[in-house]
Structure 1
Amino acid sequence: MPSTKCEGHEMLYAELDKYINSVKDQPGVLINVLHRAQELFGYLSEETQQYVAEKLNLPLSQVYGVVTFYNFFSTKPKGKHQVKVCLGTACYVKGADRVLERLKEELGVELDEPTKDGNFSIHAVRCLGACSMAPVVLVGERDFYGKVTPDEVSKIINKYKEE
C-alpha cells in the first residue's frame, strides 16, 4: 500500500482495496470509488485521494477535481450528526442567521468543523426546499425542524446528545 495512508486505517484501506478490485475494470469508476471511500473514512483526506489516484492509475489532479466539484464529497471530517441550517432567502429573512449563530455558540464550533467529541458539525446550505417552514434546520438526512428560533436550538441539540 502507498505510504500516504494514515496509521490505524489499514482495515479501511483493505476494504477500499476490495471494492476497487471489484470495479476497477469498469469505465468511469472514480465517483463510485470516491463514494465508497467517503463511506469508509467519513471524508476524503488528501491521503485518501492520493491512494485512490494511485490505485486507479489516475492523476491526483483529476481525483481532486472531482472531489471539489461535487458538493456531496467532503475533504473535512464531519460530525456524527450533521446539522444543516438553510440560509436561503426565505430562511435568512426569518432569522436563520441567528439560529446558526446560536448553534455555533452551543456547540463551540465554526461552520464545517466537528465538535471535539465528533458528535456534531454545522453546515450552511442554500435551500432545503421547505421555505414555508422557514427558518429550517435539518439534522442528518431526514429530521426537519421548521420555524426554528434561537431559543429552540438547545432542545434540538439535546435530542441528539443522548444517541
Structure 2
Amino acid sequence: MSLVNCPECQQLYKELDEYIDSVKGNTGVLINVLHKAQEIFGYLSEELQQHVSEKLDIPLSQVYGVVTFYNFFSMKPKGKNQIKVCLGTACYVKGADKILERLQDELNVEMNEPTSDGLFSIHAVRCLGACSMAPVVLIGEDDYYGRVSPDEVSKILDKYRRAE
C-alpha cells in the first residue's frame, strides 16, 4: 500500500508538509527537511524521498544523493531499540564479533534490519569511544554496556523486552 494513500499516514504527511511550507524558499533546506521527515516517519523510503523532491521542486537525484551521502539518514526502517556493536580494533580483538553473532542468533535478524516485532535492529559501528570497556554495545543513545560477553546478551535484551 502506498504510504501517501494510507489513511493513518495522512496526518504524518500533513505534519511534514506544514514544516516544508514553513521553510520553503530558504536556501539549503533539504537536509533539515530530510531530518524532519526521518523524525516523523522513522526512515526515508523511496516514496518519501519522491514526496520531498516534489514539494521542494528539486530533482529526486539530488534528494537521493543527500540521503545516501550522510550516514545519519536511513532508507530502511530501524528497530525501536537500535543496538550498536563496536567493531573497532579494541572491541574486535576482545570478541565483539562473537557478541554480534549472538545478537543476530538471539533476535533472528540480519544486520541493519528490524526484528519482526520492530523492537530491535542491530548495527555494526567502527567506534563508540569507550575502548577501555571493550567490547562495547550501545542500545539507544545512552545505554552503554562494557566488557560484554556473549553469555550476557540474553540478559541485556530481556531488559528491553520487559520494558515493552
Same fold (TM over 0.5): yes
Describe how 1:66-85 pairs up with structure 2 within 5 A. 66-85=66-85
Contact 1:102–1:153 (8 Å) recurs in 2? yes
Count of residue correspondences: 161
One-letter code aligned to 1:5:
V
RMSD: 1.1
Alignment check: 8 A CA contact 2:85 2:137 kept = yes
What TM-score do the two structures reach when normalised by structure 1?
0.96
Structure 2: 5+ residue stretches without partners: none
**Contact 2:3–2:9 (8 Å) recurs in 1:** no
Q: Specify every segment of 5 or more residues in structure 1 that has no aligned partner in the other structure, as ranges.
A: none
Identity of aligned residues (%): 73
Pick closer, same or farther for the CA change 1:131–1:20 going to 2, 3 Å: same
Q: How does 1:51-70 map to 2 (within 5 A)?
A: 51-70=51-70
Deviation at 1:30, TM superposition (A): 0.3
The residue identity in structure 2 corresponding to 1:81 is: N
Contact in 2 for aligned 1:83/1:139 (Cα 8 Å): yes
Superposed structure 1 runs of 4+ greater than 3 Å apart? none
- TM-score (norm. length: structure 2): 0.96
What letter is aligned with 1:25? Answer: G
Matches within 5 A, 1:14-163: 14-163=14-163
Give me the whole-angstrom Cα distance separating, in 2, the residues matched to 1:100 and 1:76.
20
